[in-house]
Amino acid sequence: MDFPKVLTGLLSAAILVGCGSDSDESAPLGGAEYRGSTDAATITIDSEENLQMHADSVVKAISFVRYEENLSDYERNKHDAPLSLSEELGDMLNEASTLIYSEMVEESFTGLPLPADCGGSASASGNYTNFSATLSEYCVTPSASSSLVLNGGVDFQLNNNDYVINFDNVSFEFAVNQAVVQTAFINGSLKYSEIENQSIAQVNAYVKVDEVSSSAKITETYSIGSGNCQVDADFLAGNGVVYRIEDLVASLNTNSGYTGWGTLFIPDYGSMSIYYYNIQYCEDGSIGSGGIILSETEANPAVEFTYGDCNVVTANFEENGIPM
């Protein structure tokens, strides 16, 4: 096996999976961090308008808002880049490490040059359980008609089935037929582990794809065999506010839209229950149907926002099950 070529393919495919743009000197070192109240929230009828703004922003962020005329065409978009990285990139690096081990066993390498397809330079150092690579205008060709230019550094550490990946200001520019179609940037870390019957992916990263940025600290816990998935996250929403969500269970039905529930933390309010259902989006990105319920407990008191036509929302406040 030609190890430099294997590692070259690994790195180019890894960055292409998730992220990478023009290097952003002001980029955060990692994901968002919630610093607001963690006390139990108090919901009143006077807080309806402000809570609706927060509810809109939160649901758009955690459902990775994307408009499609046909719901079956919905897919996670650029806002989901950190989590997509943890799910796909980590598995690929882990498999590559196993392949390296099968060929090189304990052999280590220092400053190993990686062959470029179309210019630039890259080198790697380490061994199959702990290696790093430095990239400088490093150009590879994933296909005959495309090219990928990489800059920055990647570090990979493996311990049995667990691994950690650190990205140091990694950027890429992806072109098809010599025309740039996407730029991206990532700074932060990914960690994957398996404990008993659960797999846990942790992301702490800032990601920018074209002009869309995402900053989040995410933990996704997947119960192997059951298919159940639960998410805890601190995330920066489109309104510039950092929220926290705990015990989020979410799903997408291609007929009715997004549904989910969990515990939401809003900086000026504290913690409350959130349940959103049948969320679909309008072409302008506003919520076009469905509803969002915020409550101090599961039912009391609560405010429900119901969405009809685009940009039309009705608020209903209830206390002890009685409309106010």
Burial class (CB in 10 A: 0-12, 13-18, 19+), 69: exposed
Higher local confidence (pLDDT), 117 or 115: 117
Q: Which two tokens stand for residue 31?
A: 């994901």
Count CB-CB contacts under 10 A for residue 290: 21
Q: Which two tokens stand for residue 15?
A: 């960055």
- The percentage of the chain sitting over the pLDDT mark of 70, rounded to a whole number, equals 70
Specify the 3-state DSSP secondary structure of 24: coil
pLDDT of res. 252: 72
Range with the largest mean pLDDT of 15-19, 132-136, 316-320: 132-136
What are 323's strand-pairing partners? 318
pLDDT of res. 86: 44
pLDDT of 324 above 70: no
| Alpha-helical runs (H) found in the chain | 3-18, 48-62, 81-104
pLDDT of res. 280: 86
Domain count for the chain, please give it.
1
Mean of the per-residue pLDDT values of the chain: 75
CB 304 within 8 A of CB 272: no
pLDDT of res. 269: 94
Q: Per-residue pLDDT averaged across 237-265, rounded? A: 85
Dihedral of CA 33/36/42/46: which sign? Answer: negative
C-alpha distances in Å from residue 60, one per residue of 53, 91, 248, 275: 11, 28, 14, 13
pLDDT of 11 above 70: no
CA distance linking residue 22 with residue 30, whole number of Å? 17
pLDDT of res. 74: 45
The parent domain of residue 38 ranges over 3-323
Residues whose CB falls within 8 Å of the CB of residue 55, separated by 6 or more in sequence, listed in order: 274, 276, 292, 294, 305
Higher local confidence (pLDDT), 70 or 193: 193
Task: Report residue 26's pLDDT band, with 50, 70 and 90 as the boundaries.
Answer: very low
The pTM for the full model equals: 0.69
